[in-house]
Amino acid sequence: MASPMTRSSLTPLSSRATAKALAARHGFATSGIALVPGDGQAPRAAAYAAWLAQGFHGPLAYMQKTQLVRARIHTRFPWARSVLAVGAFYDAALTGQPTGALLAYVARYARGRDYHLIFEKRLKGLARALVQEGVCAQAHWHVDTGPILERAWAEAAGLGWIGKNACLIHPGLGSFLLLAVILMDSTPAADAPTPNRCGTCRRCMDACPTQALVAPAVLDARRCLATWNIERRGELPRELWPAQREWVFGCDTCQAVCPHNAACRNPPGLRQQQSGRIVAHPPDAELTAPRPWHTLTLAECITLQPAEYNRLFAASPLRRAGLKGLRLSAITVAGNKQLEDCREVVSRCLRDVDSDIRQRAEWAAEQRQRRRGGCRADAASLGLG
């Protein structure tokens, strides 16, 4: 068995090649290297400061509290000289029956096991391997829960560009990517940035149900559905309830309409070549493995009880919304979609012990009455009433 290479035997180019090969071996579909500047300033730090100054972080107070650490990587890690950015591609295909399955109303990234748990295991192994192979002597990894601008570093590392939907868009994989970074105390050769290929397209901005994309790559979190039905556990302001449409957890609208994600709508696992470019990619098997809650209907979600919630959603991203948050969002979707299967359970929620659940159910019931009234009016105008 060959002994590990020593750090002194690696050139910047071979160090980068080794790091990327190790990233692939540990389950990441794409990776790249960015060098940390002498002052430790993160890429897009100025844009981040401007975003905070305009209040676009809204109820996400932690984004402002951690501004200094995010903007200056040397604040916490003075030894960091480079960043290995990695990404995993999750299943972007439409799944679940929109007539009733909860699965049809959940953002695609959240369908599988909590990716933080999956990434932690992979990143620990990858960081250890980087040291063992001599790429670096010190490494520290972060998923998106750490105070670091992971999308900006991923863009600087050449994984893709930050599109008008504020997501990182990989030229071959699209934006259905989950990102993480490993800080290193070495300086492998950096990867070249990827040119922005959004052009004049603005489909994501036009399609956003709450018009939360206020400028190219600028998201107003105060209006983003994911802020409210994930981070704020269903506490969406009443004026935005109709705009929640079909999203119980998260929202994929700005990604679903992106032309760079067209290949992702092919059947999972399909690989094709067109002019040498991959137009589809198999999803990460660990990120897309079936979960117990996949058989749950929207109606069953509305009346979910604590014991069943804990059993079905163990190690699931949906736990971030909490039981009450899922129920509130499911009732809102029932009001918007007017699914017949949900009518009876929404009526039962009118007597729920929780006043927030009752209020949301009252609103959902009002939508049905309003829609039925509108249908009668239309029929009368046509001489059918």
Return the half-sphere exposure (C-beta side, CA atoms, 13 A cut-off) of residue 230.
19
Structure tokens at 385: 């009433």
Residue 288 DSSP label: S
Distance, CA of 169 to CA of 196 (rounded, Å): 9
Tally of CB atoms within 10 A around 345: 19
Query: Nearest-5° angle of CA 183, CA 189, CA 190?
Result: 70
Torsion angle, alpha carbons of 346, 349, 355, 360, to 10: 0
Structure tokens at 99: 């007539």
Return the closest-CA partner of residue 54 out of 203, 249, 219, 301: 219
Q: Given CA atoms 245, 247, 251, 255 in this order, what sign does their dihedral have?
A: negative
- Which parts of the chain are beta strand (E)? 30-35, 82-89, 139-142, 161-162, 168-169, 177-184, 213-215, 218-219, 273-274, 277-278
Three-state SS at 112: coil
Catalytic pick among 39, 144, 206, 284: 144
Distance, CA of 89 to CA of 118 (rounded, Å): 13
Query: 114 catalytic, yes or no?
Result: no
Check: CB of residue 298 under 8 Å from CB of residue 330.
yes
Query: Nearest-5° angle of CA 57, CA 62, CA 64?
Result: 60
CA distances from 48 to 16, 37, 54, 135, 286 (A): 28, 17, 10, 31, 32
> Which phi-psi region, left, alpha or beta, contains residue 361 (left: φ > 0; alpha: ψ -120 to 50)?
alpha
Distance, CA of 255 to CA of 358 (rounded, Å): 33
Active site residues: 144
